[in-house]
Structure 1
């Protein structure tokens, strides 16, 4: 057996048994992995689990010729790109509420984290009002959490079996976002069910239930705005609903939010349908209501906002109206972190739509998960045309 094959089997073995390692740390004992005992083990798991799992997953997928060198390079890049506010306090475990607030707030339309340009320069499109625009430094979607297909390490983990609680532990320790959808619009929970691993889906549900026990509304606001579609339907092992769990613990604000969530989701779907149907009047009425801004940043099953759909439908009136009401919608990415400017570049109304978006602050250097700037879709329209067909089919 060659060294490369031996290294690959070693790394794959680590990935396949990572949940066992976590379980041993949690229990404070291990016969097979003595290094993960007591406080030393907890320190290693708390501080190294996230980068190592990501690195080992990349190695297993890409199968580099020299996995050791690849691992060293990956960790070096991780060190330079990580957010210093995410450093875990040695020997301590963050509360679920803190983990969720830090792990998911990054994706609520408040801007994309900057990263180095890993894919070289993109083609520039020859449109005066775009090429002459003043731009800031290149920005790129947070590729640390997901691959170019939109899959996170949680997606990969959900495709195989684990001991009870291991997946929930992974979510809490890694700050991974359970709302991520891959290019097939699947959350990690969806992958669990498709892979015939219902216990993994149940573990994710238990994680959401644990948030209800804590009672902080913010994590649920984020889950809802990101279009996560399994919140109010969750029950515990005794068939007690998540709403009842929140109410029983005196979390009245959270209980009320969960009771009203269905209504908000239905209003979001009505807004999106009115955009597809070209009913400008009704669409404007909906966003003029009290929750108008929430409805404009809320994503649907496809990871798209109302502005994404308005651009795909090439409705200039609604595009301008929505941007005026909620400019931050320009920064929100879809399931593959494509912004509305990415979409606009692949439409027939590129001139008018891009002018509106750029004048309101859209950046033509923002990159999606595939490392593509909006200009890419000017020359390669197939992906955007497919999205337009999807929206037409949803009418």
Structure 2
């Protein structure tokens, strides 16, 4: 037997002369086994020490030896006895347990039915031999093993292991071999028997897939047809980065782990759904996003093949397209170009109103910034008028704000090139922008009972249809805005005159019908549906307008008891009304500049940045959820910068992790900083007192209480907020 083992062709394939396995070894072994008359006898040959081909693989494999995992599935599929023990009493599971980076091989053995309760001659079980804690934790998830779970009549454990792709296998029982389904019938547990029978076709298909056996995949689909779930997931999969459970779809497992183009092709031909919405991801979205968010090392050609069937207009729950997840400093330009050719719109914006160009700037991806600027430049200065016209719809602001790689504005670039056509085009864009602002202002600020002002805007604009389709930085059209402020008459006017905007989507892929459903306005909802609004369109959270209506009609629960979907719908209108999309990018951009200068203790750079900053810097924490600037100064011991910022009126009561900056400074015991803070507070207190006196003398109603309280210790010196009187009186609520 030992002689046959070492003389076999399989041995020659699996014992590498150079110590390295060829990356296509699984193709060679598959071809060999397919053309062998007696594959079961061949795979069960043993060496002189009673070790099997599985022991051989374990002996010669190195860390992360990916090509070998399909071979293990192939040997299991052909009937190798998984639990054969060598002369030391070690099973293949023992041998792999000794190696680092061998989890996928161990997982393959467990799925094929390896007995986890066999000790070796030293009395050690496989679990005792693991060298990595993460593997121990993952191993625990598969205990007690499918056979033992059936033996114990434990339907919950059986269900869990089936959902983890543990295959139906054979095992020796009372001197003969028995199939696990046959064994389950001896236990007379109908629930378990039903589960196993239902799962069998899909599990056989998964085994063939993980073995890279495309011929068997096609044959099984022919045999079982709809009984096979090609969209099956390893429901208890844990990522290599953490021990959190994140279900892994079969298609993504093939793309990332097997990296076999032929198997990806067969799966997609079998209608594996690459657009399937994965609720367990964070942020949630289509499963193909996993190729960048979790498995960014997946080869580009494999990703492109997966994308053949992908809808690249889809977004995750942060409003980001797939392109946002692509690191443009890692992926090639050719790869990004191929993604763009498949239909990704670079003018799309995410939940905070950022384009992919903004996103690349914030991530400091120099190659991406350069690439996307070139793309926008090419559209503006190119000859394709239709492409320019389409881009205006979502990318008007992007066009007007465009600069080249040297930060030269597009208008200056056109002047330098004496490109009069582009100069005139930019002038037209400025006019369109003005009309767009006027239209939105009229909708929000105007009265509900008249459309005169809107018609006046349309009279001045040469293309009112285009104007109605242009989005703001939230992706919202004029119809979205009319719904948002709940002005029924204006909604009906716009709906009747511009039906092509009924199903336009905002950054979160919500239509005007989603907005109306969130307002719980059933009459207007019915009116829009009758006019042609589509009730089946889903937003980035996979919710239709009908879902919105149903969730909105439920009683509002305490915040900690609400499901994510309830929170999204019930808070949507308020959050949309409060959003200031332009400020989000502005504050984040300048925060990054400030934080870099503070980390470098570069006071001059901070001073220059402050000179460039044109908004109220104390509003920055409203838009940036990172550590406030003053806390960064303390963290980097940049005391001179902290004193400068305090002198420029930064709020010393800004909080971070439940502590004000004033308190943090006191804890640091840096006396010059404490003195600076106390002096700033003293001056502001005096200024507030003067303002209070002026208000008291100017008002016949007496002074307002501006005294400090425990909950608002700095209320004393807060400047009053004066709001300009609106042009017209209006209400956002229906009359």
What range describes the TM-score normalised by the shorter chain of this pair?
A: 0.5 to 0.7
Which residue of 379, 401, 405 corresponds with 1:211?
Answer: 379
> Secondary structure in 1 aligned to 2:399?
coil
Which residue of 221, 229, 251 corresponds with 2:397?
Answer: 229
Q: CA deviation at 1:317?
A: 0.7
1:289-339 Cα offsets, whole Å, 9 max, x none, are 432222211110001001011111111111111111110111111112111
Q: Report what 1:369 is aligned to.
A: 540
Which residue of 453, 457, 476 corresponds with 1:286?
Answer: 457
For residues 149 and 258 of structure 1, the distance between their equivalents in structure 2, rounded to whole angstroms, comes to 31
Which residue of 262, 271, 280 corresponds with 2:439?
Answer: 271
Contact kept in structure 2, 1:323 and 1:330, CA below 8 Å: yes
> Secondary structure in 2 aligned to 1:372?
coil
Contact kept in structure 2, 1:167 and 1:204, CA below 8 Å: no
Q: Report what 1:326 is aligned to.
A: 498
Q: Report what 2:60 is aligned to.
A: none
Q: Report what 1:220 is aligned to.
A: 388
For residues 104 and 352 of structure 2, the distance between their equivalents in structure 1, rounded to whole angstroms, comes to 33
Q: 1:60 to 1:291 in 2, by over 3 A?
A: farther
> Secondary structure in 2 aligned to 1:366?
coil
For residues 201 and 319 of structure 1, the distance between their equivalents in structure 2, rounded to whole angstroms, comes to 39
Q: 1:263 to 1:116 in 2, by over 3 A?
A: same
> Secondary structure in 1 aligned to 2:545?
coil
For residues 6 and 268 of structure 1, the distance between their equivalents in structure 2, rounded to whole angstroms, comes to 61
Q: Report what 1:39 is aligned to.
A: none
RMSD of aligned residue pairs (Cα, Å): 4.1
Q: Report what 2:526 is aligned to.
A: 355
Q: 1:143 to 1:163 in 2, by over 3 A?
A: closer
Q: CA deviation at 1:362?
A: 0.9
Q: Report what 1:388 is aligned to.
A: 573
Contact kept in structure 1, 2:479 and 2:494, CA below 8 Å: yes
Q: Report what 1:154 is aligned to.
A: 323
For residues 163 and 118 of structure 1, the distance between their equivalents in structure 2, rounded to whole angstroms, comes to 25
> Secondary structure in 2 aligned to 1:302?
coil
Q: Report what 1:181 is aligned to.
A: 349
Q: CA deviation at 1:223?
A: 2.0
* 1:197 equivalent in alignment to 2:365: yes
Contact kept in structure 2, 1:179 and 1:226, CA below 8 Å: yes
Q: Report what 1:33 is aligned to.
A: none
Contact kept in structure 2, 1:179 and 1:187, CA below 8 Å: yes
TM-score, with structure 2 as normaliser: 0.35
> Secondary structure in 1 aligned to 2:397?
coil
For residues 539 and 361 of structure 2, the distance between their equivalents in structure 1, rounded to whole angstroms, comes to 27
For residues 369 and 179 of structure 1, the distance between their equivalents in structure 2, rounded to whole angstroms, comes to 17
Q: CA deviation at 1:380?
A: 2.8
Q: 1:317 to 1:299 in 2, by over 3 A?
A: same
> Secondary structure in 2 aligned to 1:185?
coil
Q: 1:189 to 1:274 in 2, by over 3 A?
A: same
Contact kept in structure 2, 1:316 and 1:352, CA below 8 Å: no
Q: Output aligned runs, 1:50-199, within 5 Å.
A: 64=248, 67-69=252-254, 76-77=267-268, 142=311, 145-158=314-327, 161-162=329-330, 169=337, 172-199=340-367
Q: CA deviation at 1:171?
A: 5.6
For residues 374 and 190 of structure 1, the distance between their equivalents in structure 2, rounded to whole angstroms, comes to 30
Which one scores higher on RCO, CA 8 angstroms, separation ≥ 6?
Answer: 1
Q: Report what 2:515 is aligned to.
A: 343
Q: CA deviation at 1:173?
A: 4.6
Q: CA deviation at 1:370?
A: 2.5
Q: 1:315 to 1:212 in 2, by over 3 A?
A: closer
Q: CA deviation at 1:287?
A: 3.4
Which residue of 102, 107, 114 corresponds with 1:2?
Answer: 102
Contact kept in structure 1, 2:380 and 2:399, CA below 8 Å: no
Q: 1:265 to 1:353 in 2, by over 3 A?
A: same
For residues 338 and 437 of structure 2, the distance between their equivalents in structure 1, rounded to whole angstroms, comes to 32
> Secondary structure in 1 aligned to 2:248?
coil
Q: Report what 2:549 is aligned to.
A: 378
Contact kept in structure 1, 2:394 and 2:475, CA below 8 Å: yes
Q: Report what 2:480 is aligned to.
A: 308
Q: Which has the larger radius of gyration?
A: 2
Q: CA deviation at 1:374?
A: 0.7
Q: 1:266 to 1:388 in 2, by over 3 A?
A: farther
Q: 1:172 to 1:392 in 2, by over 3 A?
A: closer
> Secondary structure in 2 aligned to 1:324?
helix
Q: Return 5+ residue gaps in structure 2 as ranges.
A: 1-100, 108-238, 257-262, 280-309, 553-566, 581-725, 727-735
> Secondary structure in 2 aligned to 1:207?
helix
1:112-135 Cα offsets, whole Å, 9 max, x none, are xxx998699xxxxxxxxxxxxxxx
1:70-106 Cα offsets, whole Å, 9 max, x none, are 6657984589699xxxxxxxxxxxxxxxxxxxxxxxx
For residues 186 and 352 of structure 1, the distance between their equivalents in structure 2, rounded to whole angstroms, comes to 34
Q: 1:384 to 1:222 in 2, by over 3 A?
A: farther
